[in-house]
Amino acid sequence: MSVFSSPSFDHHELVTFTEDTASGLKAIIAVHNSNLGPAVGGCRMYPYANDADALEDVLRLSRGMTYKSALAGLPLGGGKAVIIGDHRKHKSKALLEAMGDFINAQGGKYVTAEDSGTCVDDMKVIGSRTEFVSGVDESQSFGGDPSPFTAYGIYCGMKAALAHKLGSDKLDGIKVAVQGAGAVGRYLSELLIKEGALVFVADINQDNLDRAVELGATQVSVDDIIGLDVDVFAPCAMGAVLNDESIATLKASVVAGGANNQLANVSHGEMLRARGILYAPDFVINAGGIIEIHHQISGTPELSNAHVERIGETLREIFKLSDEQSVSTVAVAEQLAEAKFQKVAEGEVNTDNNFGAAALSAAYTSANHD
């Protein structure tokens, strides 16, 4: 298993591994870049087929967080953690406490949050061992479940994409295929249905599917969801769903969803453009959760909604530049993000969009990256 030569390594500042035999914890923390601030990103628990898959996932996810926070105008870097194991079988209090110790040992260079396979209650257990955790409880300064904000950002971004592609941001009568009816997919479906969209959902988890159907969505099979004859495909499950095979079957003219790392690789952004499909880059459209976490930590939760709505403006700019320069939306978005976090490395203070930096809490202050 190579690390430095992996394309996903991409100059990571820190990649650290742990194994705690007593609790069964096997985990990796990756910090891609902390030029803009401490690396904040979720802790995913997943039964990876092997260690190489886990490493690849954490590297891609933490890199994505650097780009996401930079483009959302947040004073944060990019990091992520993965726990190797099935959350339904292997998660225990002891394992989460050991994870808390592992995060604490990084001294604040990495701040964790919930992700697929972990939940608010898990963050509370981790939070009993480290202060470097967010999304713990709405009654505490560190906020609650970020999924509704992620869904709201996707909703705003989807409207921007529809306006660009179809000339109107109205959702009434628009057909949307939502892949994955978990936390994000469910909140998103609710927002869309309220405005008259016709929502189709697929999920491997029947309980989650039933909840979405109760909201008014129509159930379709997992195999049919990508190629459904709809206006928008909204991937809200796992990554790499946009690949050679799936892109060829897409009938939607817009892809706008919450899953991280939707493209199997960056060339698929160009493939979507060549097919005339407008792709809202995942790390731009799904930033609502990290924006909310930032405002909770900063003590400015009243600013979250307006900040999340700016995702629509950012996407409008990306779509325009993509058309003007005849390059994929993801290439444009990466260039814009790099300009933000690389400027800081060159000693230039990036003040144009460094949202709320002065309001960062004591937790952030101690989470410096010396």
* Residue 314 found at the interface with ligand NAD (CB under 6 A): no
CA distances from 293 to 227, 281, 296 (A): 34, 20, 5
The DSSP 8-state label assigned to residue 242 in this structure reads B
Site string for ligand NAD, 135-174 (x = CB under 6 A): -----------xx--x------------------------
Alpha-carbon distance 58 to 43, whole Å?
9
User: Which residue among 6, 92, 104, 208 contacts ligand NAD (CB under 6 A)?
Assistant: 208
In sequence order, the β-bridge partners of residue 179 are 202, 235
> How far apart are CB 224 and ligand NAD at their closest, in Å?
11
Residues 1-60 contacting ligand NAD, CB under 6 A: none
- Does residue 289 interact with ligand NAD by CB under 6 A? yes
265: which 2 tokens?
């690789």
Q: Examine the residue annotation and report whether 80 is marked as an active-site residue of this protein.
A: yes
For residues 260 and 298, which CB has a smaller minimum distance to ligand NAD in the complex? 260
| CA separation, residue 149 to residues 5, 31, 222, 293, 360 (Å) | 36, 24, 25, 9, 20
Q: How far is the CB of 39 from ligand NAD (least distance, A)?
A: 15
By Cβ distance, which residue is nearest to ligand NAD? Answer: 182
Helix (H) or strand (E) holding 321: helix 304-325
Shortest spacing between CB 147 and ligand NAD, in angstroms: 4
Which residue among 258, 269, 312, 356 contacts ligand NAD (CB under 6 A)? 258
Nearest C-alpha neighbor of 38 from the set 130, 149, 150: 130
Using CB under 6 A, pick the residue from 41, 185, 312, 356 that binds ligand NAD.
185
One-letter amino acid for residue 163 of the chain: A
The position carrying tokens 């479940």 is: 145
Q: Please identify, using beta-carbon distances, which residue of 200 and 364 lies nearer to ligand NAD.
A: 200
Q: Which of 129, 140, 131, 110 is CA-nearest to residue 42?
A: 110
CB of 116 or CB of 298, closer to ligand NAD: 116
Q: Is 291 in the site for ligand NAD (CB under 6 A)?
A: no
Asked if residue 178 binds ligand NAD (CB under 6 A), the reply is no
14/276 Cα distance (integer angstroms): 39
List the x/- string, 104-133, binding to ligand NAD by CB under 6 A.
-----------xx-----------------
Q: What is the per-residue burial (b if ≥16 Cβ within 10 Å, else e) of 211-250?
A: bbeebebeebeeeebbebebbbbbbbbebbbbeeebbeeb
Q: Which of 43, 136, 158, 183 binds ligand NAD (CB under 6 A)?
A: 183
Measured CA angle at 267 (ends 262, 269), to 5 deg: 55
Smallest distance, ligand NAD to C-beta of residue 348, A: 29
Q: Is 236 in the site for ligand NAD (CB under 6 A)?
A: yes
Mention every residue, 6+ apart, whose C-beta is less than 8 A from residue 268. 242, 243, 244, 247
Shortest approach of ligand NAD to residue 4 CB, angstroms?
26
How many amino acids of this chain bind ligand NAD (CB under 6 A)? 26
Residue 222 — φ and ψ, nearest 5°?
-60, -35
87/343 with CB nearer ligand NAD: 87
Query: Is residue 66 a contact point for ligand NAD (CB under 6 A)?
Result: no
- Which residue ranges make up the site for ligand NAD (CB under 6 A)? 115-116, 146-147, 150, 179-185, 202-205, 208, 222, 236-238, 258-260, 286, 289
- Catalytic annotation, residues: 80
